[in-house]
Every structure is written in C-alpha cells, then in structure tokens.
Amino acid sequence: MPPHLSCIFCHSSGSSSVAHIVPESLGGKYSPIGRPGVTCDRCNQYFGQKVESKAVQSFPFSGYRLLQGVPSKKRRFIRMDTKLGEVEASGASGIIHLEPRNNQLRNLVERGRVCQFHLIAEVSESLAVVRMLLKIGLEQLGKHFYDVAVSDRVGEARAFARRPGRGDNWWCILCTEPSEILDTTAKDQFTIEITEHEGVLVSVMRLPGVTTIVPLEKRALAPTPGSLPEPHYRVIRATC
Ligand SMILES: [Zn+2]
C-alpha cells in the first residue's frame, strides 16, 4: 500500500477516504473525486459542515441547484422562500415547484396571471463561497501536484480556506450565464482547471452557466472595477 499523504490543511495523516472535491449537493454524481488523503476526514467534515453547506445555499450555487434540480447527498432539493411562496427544485432540469404563499396568489398562479418570478442574483455568503472555491482549487491542485499544494506558495490560500483570521480577505470572479444553466445537455460539463495567469496559480471551475475563478495566491490583484464585462462577470470580495 502506498504511504498515506498528510492533509494539506492540517498535516495529519492516516486518512484514505475517497471524497468528492466538489460537494455532491452541487455537482451531483458528476462531482470530481479527490485523491485520498489530500484532505483528511476531519478537515473534509469541517468544510462540509461549516463552509460548503453555507456556500451551496448562496447565489450562484443556490440558483444553479434550483434550476438544474441537483439534490443534496441526502436527496433533498433546495428550497427558497420568495414573495410569491416557497419554490423547490423538482429534480428535473428547469422545472421548479411553487407553493404559493396564500390562496389569493394560488388563484393568480392557477389562472396564469402570475407566471414569472425573479431570483435575486446576490452572493449572500461570499466568505463561505470563496473559502469553498479555495478548498476545491487546492484539492484539485493536490490531486495532481501534491508538492505544490503543500508548499508555501499557496500557504495563504490554505489558511484562508481552513482558518481565516479576523479581517483577512480574498476575492474571486464570478461569471454567470443563466440560459446555459437550463441547458440539459451540458450536465456533465463540470471541470476544475488549475492554470497560471501572470505567474499566479488560479483555479477555474466551470459548471453549466456558472464559472468561478479564484487565485490560489494572495499576491494576485483583483481586476479593477469596469475592466470586466458586467453583469455577467463580477468580482466577489470576502472578508472574515
Ligand atoms: Zn486535515
């Protein structure tokens, strides 16, 4: 048996469980699998409970899960409270259940007078979202380039993901294309790519209609306002 790796976040060794790099409640069965031991079971559990569970409730992932109908590991679908009532993913891409808030609204919906609702595209949990993206990027890095993932080069990214200090900050770029989220033929187009941009390691995650870009090195500078084509591209800042 090959020796166990030590966890890139806490250095403990002995974990060999196979875990998804991306939470199943986001990627479903298409979630890429990590290399066993890169993240230990305890850290994985920590991320799942404290970081990922919040991040997948926040835009853009909430909207993605609602429109694509991706269930959680426990086969639960995302629900959201809206002015109209409660909406819930159905499990079928693009089909959403609506439980109108009251009989008056139910009436209007049944008569076809209300046939639209808007999702507010606001990242409500930016800290959890950025930490999750860092964890995903670092695990993907550790899968193929373990030595880099444990090196000082990405030390600040590891610290921000696992234990950010008060006042620490990070950023990512979010790109959304709502019409692509509903493209049912694109379900398995789920990729995480580690690239170097101007000498900085960057993790790019693509799900249908949602692309996130997060630098794995602190020295990377966020694009200046106006340099990205809004509203499809946005810089998301997270401060602990
Ligand atoms: Zn660990």
Q: Do 85 and 186 fall into the same domain?
A: no
Residue 5 is predicted with a pLDDT of: 86
For the entire predicted model, the pTM comes to 0.87
Domain for residue 21, yes or no? no
- The number of folded domains in the chain is 2
Three-state secondary-structure class, residue 236: strand
- In angstroms, what is the span from residue 12 Cα to ligand 1's centroid? 6
Q: Do 197 and 169 fall into the same domain?
A: yes
- In angstroms, what is the span from residue 240 Cα to ligand 1's centroid? 21
**pLDDT tops 70 at residue 18:** yes
Residue that finishes a domain, picked among 47, 75, 110? 110
**Could you tell me if 190 and 136 are in contact, meaning their C-beta atoms sit under 8 angstroms apart?**
no
Q: Do 128 and 153 fall into the same domain?
A: yes
Residue that finishes a domain, picked among 42, 75, 110? 110
What letters, b where the CB count within 10 A reaches 16 and e where it falls short, cover 213-234?
A: bbbbeeebebeeeeebeeeeeb
Q: Do 221 and 193 fall into the same domain?
A: yes
- In angstroms, what is the span from residue 126 Cα to ligand 1's centroid? 23
- In angstroms, what is the span from residue 31 Cα to ligand 1's centroid? 21
- DSSP letters along 23-70, please? -HHHHGGGPPB--TTSS-HHHHHHIIIIIIHHHTTSTTHHHHHHHHT-
- In angstroms, what is the span from residue 48 Cα to ligand 1's centroid? 13
Residue 11 is predicted with a pLDDT of: 92
Three-state secondary-structure class, residue 73: coil
Which residue range is the domain that position 105 belongs to?
A: 61-110
Q: Do 105 and 128 fall into the same domain?
A: no
Q: Do 204 and 99 fall into the same domain?
A: no
d(CA 114, CA 219): 49
- In angstroms, what is the span from residue 11 Cα to ligand 1's centroid? 6
Residue-wise pLDDT for 138-168, tens only, equals 999 999 999 999 999 999 999 999 999 999 9
Check residue 14 and report its DSSP letter.
Answer: -
Q: Do 105 and 130 fall into the same domain?
A: no
Residue that finishes a domain, picked among 79, 110, 141? 110
- In angstroms, what is the span from residue 145 Cα to ligand 1's centroid? 17
Domain for residue 34, yes or no? no
Residue-wise pLDDT for 183-239, tens only, equals 666 656 788 999 999 999 999 999 888 999 999 999 998 888 778 776 678 899 999
Domain for residue 9, yes or no? no
Domain for residue 202, yes or no? yes
Residue 1 is predicted with a pLDDT of: 46
Higher pLDDT: 182 or 216? It is: 216
- In angstroms, what is the span from residue 5 Cα to ligand 1's centroid? 11
Domain for residue 53, yes or no? no
The arithmetic mean of pLDDT across residues 29-49, rounded, is 89
Long-range contacts from 220-229, C-beta under 8 angstroms, 24+ separation: 222/171, 223/173, 228/173
- In angstroms, what is the span from residue 44 Cα to ligand 1's centroid? 7
What proportion of the chain, given as a percentage, has pLDDT over 90? 43
d(CA 68, CA 91): 7
Domain for residue 37, yes or no? no
Q: How many CB atoms lie within 10 A of CB 14?
A: 11
Q: Do 144 and 218 fall into the same domain?
A: yes
Residue 171 is predicted with a pLDDT of: 96
- In angstroms, what is the span from residue 209 Cα to ligand 1's centroid? 32
Q: Do 74 and 156 fall into the same domain?
A: no
Check residue 8 and report its DSSP letter.
Answer: T
Domain for residue 94, yes or no? yes
- In angstroms, what is the span from residue 15 Cα to ligand 1's centroid? 9
- In angstroms, what is the span from residue 217 Cα to ligand 1's centroid? 20
- In angstroms, what is the span from residue 186 Cα to ligand 1's centroid? 34
- In angstroms, what is the span from residue 153 Cα to ligand 1's centroid? 18
- In angstroms, what is the span from residue 43 Cα to ligand 1's centroid? 4
Q: Which of 173, 127, 133 is nearest to 21 (CA)?
A: 133
Q: Do 172 and 83 fall into the same domain?
A: no
Q: Do 202 and 100 fall into the same domain?
A: no
Q: Do 190 and 96 fall into the same domain?
A: no
Q: Which of 12, 22, 72, 17 is nearest to 47 (CA)?
A: 22
Residue-averaged pLDDT of the chain:
86
CA 59 to each of CA 18, 49, 107: distance values in angstroms, whole numbers, following the listed order: 28, 18, 30
Domain for residue 172, yes or no? yes
The arithmetic mean of pLDDT across residues 78-104, rounded, is 80
